[in-house]
Amino acid sequence: MTLEIRRVVTGHDSQGRAIVASDERMTGVSASARPYISRCEIWSTDTMPVDNSEGAATAAQRKGFVVRHNYVGSGQGSVVRITEFAPGAPKFMHRTETVDYAILLSGECDLELDDGKTVKVKAGDIVVQRGTMHAWVNNGSVPCVFAFILIDADPVEAGGQKLTTHYPAP
């Protein structure tokens, strides 16, 4: 898979005027345990409201993406990520303590829930994922690419239990 994304980040010059702080091509990376998924971490935050000052934003990005508390960050964070799923990739059911906006940019993908129901998602569709157990399954013949915006959330309480992060090791 050859996921490549252009990321343009704006900022301010010393007079307070808008500038392009960076303009770069990012190449997707895959974890060795999940080579069928490639992703680019576009931006992350760990406070709310976000500190958009140059020093704070640069330091936060240099520190690295995604402190694994609640999967996203500090409990007050967000992540923007572009993810490509190869066709036929094995599924993995997981849950995060986030509200996720999953925007399918290209291809098709099935959203499978732990009640066994499946929803076919097509390019242009948006899924609002609210802390539920789910899996993304590409049953098609071409890769599918999502833009994911994840925002930290409190764990859901349902059925008399607190539904916390469940992200199985590969």
pLDDT at 170: 64
By residue range, what is the domain housing residue 131? 41-157
For the cut 50, the answer to whether the pLDDT of residue 69 exceeds it is no
Element (H, E) at 38: strand 34-45
pLDDT at 60: 67
User: Does residue 24 belong to any structural domain of this protein?
Assistant: no
CATH number, domain with residue 68: 2.60.120.10
Give the pLDDT confidence of 119-162 residue by residue, as tens digits: 999 999 999 999 999 999 999 999 999 999 999 888 899 999 99
User: Does residue 138 belong to any structural domain of this protein?
Assistant: yes
| pLDDT band per the 50, 70, 90 thresholds, residue 71 | low
Least confident of 26-30, 43-47, 58-62, 122-126: 58-62
Q: How far is CA 50 from CA 43, 45, 72, in A?
A: 12, 7, 14
User: Does residue 150 belong to any structural domain of this protein?
Assistant: yes
Residues 6+ positions from 4 with CB-CB distance below 8 Å: 25, 26, 27, 28
Least confident of 12-21, 51-60, 141-150, 152-161: 51-60
Q: Give the Cα separation of 42 and 29 in Å (integer).
A: 12
User: Does residue 14 belong to any structural domain of this protein?
Assistant: no
- H helix and E strand count, the chain: 1, 13
Element (H, E) at 60: helix 54-63
Q: Give the Cα separation of 47 and 136 in Å (integer).
A: 28
User: Does residue 80 belong to any structural domain of this protein?
Assistant: yes
User: Does residue 118 belong to any structural domain of this protein?
Assistant: yes
User: Does residue 77 belong to any structural domain of this protein?
Assistant: yes
Number of domains the chain is built from? 1
Give the pLDDT confidence of 95-121 residue by residue, as tens digits: 988 999 999 999 999 999 999 999 999
Q: How many CA atoms lie within 13 A of 42 on its CB side?
A: 18
